[in-house]
Amino acid sequence: MTFEFRLPDVGEGTDSAEIVEWHVAVGAKVREDQPLVDIETDKAVVGIPCPTTGTVVALAAQEGDTVAVGAVLAVFAAPGEASLDADPGEGVEQSSAPAREDAVAEPAALAEITMLSEAAAAAAAAAAQAGHVLASPAARAAAREAGIDLSSVSGSGPLGGVRVGDLDGPRVAANGGVPRASAAASREDEHRPLRGTRRTIARTLTKQWQTVPHVTDYREVDVSALLELRRLLRADAVRRGDDDVAAVVTATPILVKLAATLLKRHPLLNATIDMDRDEITVYGAINIGIAVATPEGLIVPVIHDADRKTVFEIAVEAAALTAAARERTLNSSDLAGATFTVNNYGSLGIWLGTPIIPPGQSANLGIGRIDDRAVVRDGEITIRPIAALACSGDHRLLDGDVIARFVSDLVRAIEDPVSLFGDLR
The residues annotated with a catalytic role in the active site are 395
| Dist CA 133 CA 34 (whole Å) | 29
DSSP 7: P
**CA pair distance 284, 149, nearest whole angstrom:** 55
From residue 127, give the alpha-carbon distance in Å to each of 112, 156, 183, 262, 377: 19, 17, 17, 60, 70
Report the distance separating Cα 125 and Cα 220, nearest Å.
62
Alpha helices in 117-223, H assignment, sequence order: 118-129, 137-146, 181-185, 196-211
Amino acid at 164: V
111 vs 72: CA distance, rounded Å: 13
Dihedral sign of CA atoms 217, 219, 221, 227 in order: positive
Other residues' Cβ atoms within 10 Å of the Cβ of residue 409: 17
CA-CA distance, 41 to 48, in Å (whole number)?
Answer: 12
Distances (CA, A) of 111 to 101, 106, 119, 124, 273: 20, 9, 8, 14, 45
Q: Count CB neighbours of 375 within 10 A.
A: 14
The rounded distance, in Å, linking the Cα atoms of 55 and 75 is 9
Contact 24, 50 (CB under 8 A): yes
Distance of CA 288 to the CA centre of its chain: 17
Report how far residue 265's alpha carbon sits from residue 215's, in angstroms, rounded to the nearest whole number.
20
Q: How far apart are CA 104 and CA 108, in angstroms?
A: 12
